[in-house]
Amino acid sequence: MFRSASTAHPSRRRRLLAAAGALTTPLLPEDFLTLFDPLWSTTSLRGRVVARRRETPRAVSVTIEPGRQWAGHRAGQYVGVGIEVDGVRYRRSYSLSSPEDSGHLTITVQEVPDGVVSTKLVRDLPIGTIVELDRAAGEFTLPDPLPEKLLFVTAGSGITPVMSMLRTLDRAGTMPDAVLVHSARTPEDTIFGAELAALAARHPSLRVVFRHSAVTGRLDPGTLDETVPDRADRAVYACGPEGLLDALTGCWGDDVVAERFAPPGFGAVEGTGGTVELGEDTVEVEPGQSLLDAGEAAGKLLPSGCRMGICFGCVLPLREGQVRDLRTGELHGEPGDMVQTCINSACGPARIDTP
């Protein structure tokens, strides 16, 4: 389905692999071919940056041609992206903004203060850069069958997964009765502002309400019943900062399907930090820093996924010591326990095996 050299016809690929096998010793055919095109790899999933589009002064969309292992995504899901910055490998998860079945995938990234990876992606990622990719993941997806009426509430870069949903519905010609209330600081900070307005103009069943927090203050769920009088009849999907999602779920309870950028409570616990042996390396973990962040900052390539305690893609075996859960402050762990490195910090010395 994808259009690229990395997805050549299977018989052509088999012939090339056989020819490469005859020519390369002791390199494996896989090694030889990936020298020419890293997207050929059958053992790791990679992608090539093919386009960048500025969305706002602080946000860009990055389009990536995926390797042959990419299995596509469902609208609303996120993808783990690994890049190298100043010789250190980092991995971050970003929501996909491209529609389903789009061949190439697009992530839309807003620069965050002190964000090493977001700054690189937004300011200075050359076309042609090869990035590592995880498979798409996440449960924040459109329900099947679609509800009769939908309400999306988003703020800032929280529009990204919802944009993927709206683009998918637009492409399929199946836009239901939907209201999007989107908040950004100013019109200039509104990611996809023009495209959202165009979508609403094209689909009478879609209403888009822009709020600008620099003018009207932060989005207050208490005022949404005025904006959307039939709110109680709508399936609610929300994505944005923790404060907004907490307020929405506080008002409307579990009826809200919320996509969070960080686990609830994350950041409230500072912990004590400590010196941790990660495989063969010794890493200093700052108070309140996750084991995963500390390992990556030290140049280690560690398994990861959602980075918020959901997917268990980051678990590693604890061999000595204990760790502190950054969401609850709980001290836990026995030798042999598998610990999630994305949501645990150090609390004194510890030893953890790495792959």
Residue whose CB is less far from ligand FES, 158 or 305: 305
DSSP string, 285-337: EPTT--HHHHHHHTT-----SSSSSSS-TTEEEEEES-EEETTT--EE--TT-
Binding piece for ligand FES, criterion CB under 6 A, among 103-111, 228-236, 304-312, 346-354: 304-312
* Sole binder of ligand FES in the list 156, 305, 321, 333 (CB under 6 A): 305
For residues 195 and 170, what is the distance between their CA atoms, to the nearest angstrom?
12
Which residues face 179 on adjacent strands?
Answer: 151, 207
Choose which of 49, 142, 244, 342 interacts with ligand FES (CB under 6 A): 342
Altogether, the residues listed in the chain come to a count of: 355
Q: Segment near ligand FES (CB under 6 A), from 153-161, 165-173, 197-205, 308-316?
A: 308-316
Binding residue (CB under 6 A) for ligand FES from 83, 306, 323, 339: 306
For position 301 contacting ligand FES by CB under 6 A, the verdict is no
Q: Is 36 in the site for ligand FES (CB under 6 A)?
A: no
Check if the beta carbon of residue 98 is closer than 8 Å to that of residue 104: yes
CA 102/CA 246 separation, integer angstroms: 33
Phi then psi dihedrals of residue 33, to 5 deg:
-70, -35
Looking at 313, 327, 333, 346, which residue binds ligand FES (CB under 6 A)? Answer: 313
Q: Which of residues 221-260 bind ligand FES (CB under 6 A)?
A: none
| Binding residue for ligand FES, selected from 49, 59, 184, 311, defined by CB under 6 A | 311
Q: Is the peptide bond before 229 cis (omega within 30 degrees of 0)?
A: no
Q: Which part of the chain contacts ligand FES (CB under 6 A), choosing from 242-250, 269-277, 279-287, 305-313? A: 305-313
ω into 26 cis (within 30 of 0): yes
The residues binding ligand FES (CB under 6 A) are 304-307, 309-314, 340, 342
